[in-house]
Amino acid sequence: MKKLYLITLFASLLITACDPNKDIYNDLDKLKNPYSDILTYTMISADYSTFSSLALKTATSKWDSTLAKEIKTYTSFGPYRNIANYGTAANSFLTTKFVALKKGSVVYIKSDFSTSYSLKTPDANAALPIAAGVELYTLIAGDYTAAGLDSGFVGANQMVKLTDYLKSTICPNAVKDQFLVVNYKKSLTTSVDGYFIFNGTAWSLDAAKSYVLVMADYDAMGAPGTNDNFSSSIVPQNYLPAFLKIKYPYAQTNDVKVLIYKYYSSGVQTHIATYTYDGSLWKERTSKLDQYINNGEAWFYDPTIKFTMIAADYQIICDFVKNDPEKSTYFNKKYKNEEYWFGANAYRVNFDFKVVNRTGIYTIDATVYQKDSLGTFTGKTIAENTITFNTRLKEGLIVLLEAKYPTLQPLTSTGLQAYIEVKYNIYTGFNPTPQYTAKFKVTGVGKFENETYTNVDCIP
Amino acid sequence: MMKKTLLLFAICLLTLASINAQTLIKGKIIDAKNNEELIGAIIMVEGTGTGTTSTLDGSFSFKVKPGDLKIEISFMGYVKQFIDVKIANGETKDIGTIALETDAIGLEEIKIVASFAIDRVTPISVSTISPTLIQEKLGSKEFPEILKSTPSVYATKTGGGYGDGRINLRGFSSNNIGVLINGVPVNDMESGAVYWSNWAGLSDVTRTMQVQRGLGASKLALSSVGGTINIITKSIDAKKGGSIYYGIGNDNYQKTAFTLSTGLMENGWAITANGSHTTGDGYIKGANFEGWSYFLNVAKKINEKHQLSYTVFGAPQWHNQRYYKHSIQDYRDNPDGTKLNTDYGYLNGKIYSIQHNQYHKPQMSVNHTWLINTNTHLSTAVYASFGRGGGRRIRGTSANWIQFQSNGKPYDMTLITPDNHLNLEAVLDSNKASQVGSKAVMQMDMNSHDWYGILSNLNKQMGNFNITAGVDGRFYKGYHYTEITDLLGGDYYIDPTANVNRTIGSPLQVGDKVNRDYIGKVIWGGLFGQAEYVVDKYSAFLSLAVSNTTYQRFDYFQYTPEQGQASAKKSFLGYSFKGGTNYNLNKKHNVFINAGYFLRAPYFSFVFKNYTNNLNEGVKPERVLSYEGGYGFRSKFMSANLTLYQTSWLDKALTRTNGNDLINITGLNAIHKGIELSVSSNPIKKVDVILMTSIGSWKWDKDVEAEIYDANNNYVRTDSVFAKGIHVGDAAQTTASLTINYEVFPKVRLGVDYNYAANLYAYFDIASRSNSSDKGDDAWKLPAYSLFDLNVKYLFNLGKLDATLIGNVDNIFDVEYLADATDGANHDAITSTVFYGFGRTATLSLKINF
């Protein structure tokens, strides 16, 4: 009897012994397959107020708090007020709004993009640096002197003095991607507006992305030419789309142009508007889409590294070809800044898709060199060469990425999948050379795989 | 015909019946020296399988076949006795009380020096671990784990390296537990910690062990906040002979050992020697080890009054460790599972661990016992211990190449091979290619010491009073320096920590000292006294101890000889007093109470600021106040002990900085209280059952707030520690165990141990709880777990020699459980980092006595 009692006691203890961590493992498994979704959320005016308060809480300087308050006033993030700068506020905003969305979820925040509006100018007699929110600054005589521009205007090759002065004196607290329209003298008699962008380190005149309308433009459009400005009766949205279509006939889908023009409303104002091309028409950008990804712990702004290839980048590809025994004959030994394997041309800052440019010969003194020494392109059809050129271009981009980002980890420090977006030019005889974008996924440390790419036909 | 068969049948039945009429032998076994009843002694008819074991009051009775019998009485630790008995059919013979002599000489004297508690006399809460228990249950467990089945103990293997086990007693860690070996204190003189890897061979030479919970019975001024672990090693074996031992276990565990004794020779000399060698790969990955142990005891009985003995023992070892805990999900995601160890890689095909420890701490003592007269004796031990060794560490500006973050995740720059080991080859390549010398090197943090001491005890019996007075003096020097052991491929190393006695930027080689080079000197002088009053029903004691600790620090790295490399001396007075009384109501019941208070000198690291020679002038001593009350029950079939206790640990050392100043804050108190129950019983013949339950409530007491002022008495800020009500972490507050030992045959014993641990909160540093947002939040509570261990012992004869075969299987159901954890930011299972306990392990050993 006592024996039986002992056995049952032990048996009951056995049952409790089995798996002490069962509940924890169940909870962890649930986390592995969290609820996730991809959606687009459109901001309403109440959201801007909420966001503004959140941004104010994390503001560490007067500059930051002014910008934070403006979100509420302008009910937009705008090109000036980049939502990417409000990491903590955006995270709090999204975590509260989308409680159920966990790891892997993506939310595209659709926010209003300020349509044509008057650029904010500094208060009268305000001292430098400019206050937060100022978007248009007109240089005065004292500025030229202080910037080292003794001539009193920005002459040839003197732009760097102006951009340095912007950083040191006019807007030292700039945040990345911030813009500033500066009215400066090109010569003693001519003033122009320049659209400047801050890339995090320095200011530069963003001529590619922006265009300041000149007198000839207003005249060409007809009615605006009367006073060289738009107004409530001469609505810019009625003219600018057509203007852009004529000015940029080779525009690609999703191309963006920032236009700066004059608008009359009890005085001549300088206005700014952003237009995007949808493939057939230029439309004023009224909304902006910012991508946020949830890594299981917090929401992070799309961490894709974006860059536009410059001459030095094309040169990296040229040097790679030079040093590769299999490919070295495709390196132009005369000019040393172009190669025909991948098609990179550092001098022209593009990939050359003209077959005639990648076949034939070049000479150094009496020696004749074959450009297409292996006969890969010579005698092939356009369709065949198109396939080859596009494949080679993608490979060339990977060569570039491996050289530029050899230690890049496949997961960012926040646990998100890393991507790189490269913008490059392909020459097919047009001027200006159209720009394309390719997206690469980081699959290993310094290893890349192409995700999106636009095929371009080559020409003979 | 029928009638004849019936008659024959009847005669047969009658004969059978008469043979089966009760032929019984009974008696009682006691200890010859102190008359204590011996439980579990084996009484056998020699040459047969007939026999039994003595019960809880030392008595026994068993059926035998009539005739001339030779009865063999044996018990571990005692000399075997043989008694001739002639017994007739149906007779019950009482062979009386048999007093067994201990097989060790001088054991009683050592027990007195060590303040070994005596049942129903010493009024403290105590558990005694017999050598039988150690022999049967230890297997390949860490030494402190043998105490798992005693109340209020939480012992784990921590990272799992050989000798890296730890024990908490009533929720207090080793620097709050006094550990004595043969009465000599062994807690580190600078930190109070006990490193069980120094005593890896202790299990081979442990004669008996006692855990005295709470203030304990020791007369010395010990840091017994949680309790005292009193280990008595072998002394002189009375018998000549020896043994050899061979054991194997999981993961290539192998142990060989021997013992040799001359016994007490006619010329008065006696020598006992013991040695062992243990190796293994370790249960977890990358934790291979090798250890030796040696023990020598030479004794001379000079005459009837004087005895001298010299003992030396040590356990030199090296072992690879596991230091970094990981999150539960990281273990689940890794193919190595719970055996995951990110602290090693491979170099030249061999395991190279960045957490490697080697240490040798020989402990030697000369013990003199002088029986001045029948009532007075003086025991003196003069001892010395020389610790040599340390632990490997990776250092350098790129140390993170082969290190993980404390949250268990790799750094961005951590170099890992495709099969998840530290990439040491890549480190070698990078160091070779470097133009500024090695960026990551292997260094050894050496923590050696020389320790000399004297412990002298005068004991006088005056009527019913037993007076003890004594002296406890210690001289200690700890040598702390770090030296480069491996440049890992580079040509030299530049130490970023400036050694003022060396040109900055000198290229350093293997053997050069880096990072630190200092000596900690501690001189301790203590006096103690105890008065004990013992009569038949009552006993009471009062003991007082006073000590003076003088600290000094010598730094050869941060100070030039001109500046002065010696710090100022700082002395602290410590004292303790305690008293208690025990009342025996009758032969079955007794009750006791005890209480005590002690003031402890601060530990070395709190006396000197920030590893410099600057004194922390305002350092405050810690204090302990403890009460205990208990009840004991003794009967033939059952013995039970019930204790209630409360220990308050007051003014735990807490410092904050204000610029260059160090502020000492008092008021951080912890209150540990609880109930302990242990019951031993013999419910049916051949089975003994031991049940233990301990339920503790160990919490930090109140929030601490300190206003910080600057030198001009201007208010700077208020620092808080939100400690109120938070459960003490790193030890299971509720433990229970059930042990069933079954004597299958008289020479075969089977044991099953069930252990339960619950209310285990993760480890956290209470001093860092300064954020009001988690005020009152407990650390993560780990899931409770239950484990089963199994052991088998078989005694047999190999010709004329006695042999013992022991098998152990621990965690027989291979339960996956969490034994240790460090609390994470969210106090939950996801953010905390853990060590799992081991799965199923097994050992098998054979010991042959000659």
pLDDT recorded at residue B8: 60
> How far is the alpha carbon of B574 from chain A, nearest alpha carbon, in Å?
45
Residue B255's pLDDT band, with cuts at 50, 70 and 90, is very high
Q: Percent of chain A, pLDDT > 90?
A: 28
A69 exposure class (CB count in 10 Å sphere: 0-12, 13-18, 19+): middle
pLDDT recorded at residue A120: 78
Chosen for mutation from B330, B332, B430, B810 (greatest number of chain A CBs closer than 10 Å) is B332
pLDDT recorded at residue B105: 61
pLDDT recorded at residue B576: 93
State the average pLDDT over residues A221-228.
89
Q: Is residue A48 part of a domain?
A: yes
Q: Is residue A177 part of a domain?
A: no
pLDDT of residue B441 exceeding 90, the answer is yes
For B537-593, write each residue's pLDDT tens digit.
999 999 999 999 999 999 999 999 999 999 999 999 999 999 999 999 988 999 999
Q: Is residue A193 part of a domain?
A: no
For B716-728, write each residue's pLDDT tens digit.
888 889 999 999 9
State the average pLDDT over residues B60-83.
84
> How far is the alpha carbon of B377 from chain A, nearest alpha carbon, in Å?
49
A25 lies within 8 A of chain B by CB: yes
Tally of CB atoms within 10 A around B405 = 12
Length of chain A: 460
CA distances from B845 to B275, B317, B691, B803, B806 (A): 16, 21, 27, 10, 5
Contact A153, A185 (CB under 8 A): yes
Name the residue facing A28 among B329, B756, B815 (closest C-beta).
B329
Which chain A residue has the Cα nearest residue B409? A413
Its sign, for the CA torsion A163, A168, A171, A174, is positive
Which of A82-86, B64-68, B700-704 has the lowest average pLDDT? A82-86
Q: Percent of chain B, pLDDT > 70?
A: 96
Chosen for mutation from B326, B327, B328, B814 (greatest number of chain A CBs closer than 10 Å) is B328
Name the residue facing B683 among A2, A19, A23 (closest C-beta).
A2
> How far is the alpha carbon of A60 from chain B, nearest alpha carbon, in Å?
22
User: In which element (H, E) is residue A397 found?
Assistant: helix A382-404
For A305-434, strand residue ranges (E) read 305-308, 344-345, 350-352, 361-364, 367-370, 419-427
Domain boundary among A54, A86, A112: A112
Q: Is residue A344 part of a domain?
A: yes
Which chain A residue has the Cα nearest residue B785? A20
Residue B12's pLDDT band, with cuts at 50, 70 and 90, is very low
Chosen for mutation from B752, B816, B833 (greatest number of chain A CBs closer than 10 Å) is B816
pLDDT recorded at residue B411: 82
- Three-state DSSP at B240 gives coil
β-sheet bridge partners, residue B348:
none
Name the residue facing B328 among A2, A18, A24 (closest C-beta).
A24
Give the residue among B655, B672, B626, B823 at the shortest CA–CA distance from B168: B672
pLDDT recorded at residue A2: 60
Contact A352, A332 (CB under 8 A): no
Cα–Cα dist B380/B527, whole Å: 14
Contact A72, A111 (CB under 8 A): no
Residue B675's pLDDT band, with cuts at 50, 70 and 90, is very high
3-state helix, strand and coil shares in percent for chain A, rounded to the nearest 5: 35, 25, 40
> How far is the alpha carbon of B824 from chain A, nearest alpha carbon, in Å?
15
Chosen for mutation from A1, A8, A21 (greatest number of chain B CBs closer than 10 Å) is A21
Task: Report CB contact under 8 Å: B329, A20.
Answer: no
Cα–Cα dist A438/B760, whole Å: 54
pLDDT of residue A293 exceeding 90, the answer is no
How far is it between the farthest Cα atoms of chain A?
A: 116
CATH 3.30.365.10 matches B237-445+453-849: no
To which CATH superfamily is domain B104-236 assigned?
A: TonB-dependent receptor, plug domain (2.170.130.10)
Range of the domain at A96: 38-112
**DSSP state, residue A167:** I
Parallel, antiparallel, or unpaired: how do β-strands B833-836 and A256-264 relate? unpaired
Domain boundary among A51, A78, A112: A112
CA distances from B138 to B132, B144, B149, B237, B838 (A): 10, 10, 12, 22, 15
Q: Is residue A32 part of a domain?
A: no
Tally of CB atoms within 10 A around B16 = 10
> How far is the alpha carbon of B622 from chain A, nearest alpha carbon, in Å?
38
B329 lies within 8 A of chain A by CB: yes
Cα–Cα dist B134/B129, whole Å: 7
Task: Report CB contact under 8 Å: B818, A18.
Answer: no
Task: Report CB contact under 8 Å: B328, A16.
Answer: no
Instruction: Please list the alpha-helical segments (H only) found in B309-413.
Output: 328-333
B783 lies within 8 A of chain A by CB: yes
B785 lies within 8 A of chain A by CB: yes
- Identify all chain B residues contacting A21, using CB atoms and an 8 Å cutoff: 328, 783, 816-818
Name the residue facing B412 among A10, A13, A413 (closest C-beta).
A413
The fold of the B21-100 domain, in CATH, is Immunoglobulin-like (2.60.40)
Task: Report CB contact under 8 Å: B687, A6.
Answer: yes
Domain ranges for chain B, please list them.
21-100, 104-236, 237-445+453-849
Examine residue A432 and say whether the peptide bond preceding it is cis (omega within 30 degrees of 0): yes
Rg of chain A taking only CA atoms, in angstroms: 29
For B232-251, write each residue's pLDDT tens digit.
887 766 678 899 999 999 99
pLDDT of residue B616 exceeding 70, the answer is yes
For B450-485, write each residue's pLDDT tens digit.
999 999 989 999 999 999 999 999 999 999 999 999
State the average pLDDT over residues B293-297.
92
> How far is the alpha carbon of B718 from chain A, nearest alpha carbon, in Å?
24
Task: Report CB contact under 8 Å: A14, B788.
Answer: yes
Q: Is residue A63 part of a domain?
A: yes
Q: Is residue A322 part of a domain?
A: yes
Which of A82-96, A238-252, B342-356 has the lowest average pLDDT? A82-96
For B324-336, write each residue's pLDDT tens digit.
999 999 899 888 9
Cα–Cα dist A177/A254, whole Å: 18
Which of A93-97, A263-267, B7-11, B228-232 has the lowest average pLDDT? B7-11
Which of B7-21, B419-433, B480-494, B579-593 has the lowest average pLDDT? B7-21
State the average pLDDT over residues B42-60.
80
pLDDT recorded at residue B40: 75
Q: Checking phi first, is residue B401 left (phi over 0); if not, alpha (psi -120 to 50) or beta?
A: alpha
Parallel, antiparallel, or unpaired: how do β-strands A419-427 and A435-444 relate? antiparallel
Which chain A residue has the Cα nearest residue B688? A6
Cα–Cα dist B427/B402, whole Å: 8
Domain boundary among A77, A112, A147: A112
Contacts of B361 (CB under 8 A, 6+ apart): B198, B199, B314, B315, B385, B386, B387, B388, B389
Task: Report CB contact under 8 Å: B738, A23.
Answer: no
Count of structural domains, chain A? 2
Contact B260, B234 (CB under 8 A): no
Q: Is residue A388 part of a domain?
A: yes
CA-CA-CA-CA dihedral for B437, B440, B442, B448, to nearest 10: 90
Task: Report CB contact under 8 Å: A10, B754.
Answer: yes
For B91-140, write each residue's pLDDT tens digit.
888 988 999 887 666 666 677 777 788 887 889 899 988 888 888 999 88
Cα–Cα dist B444/B449, whole Å: 15
Task: Report CB contact under 8 Å: A6, B784.
Answer: no
Q: Percent of chain B, pLDDT > 90?
A: 57
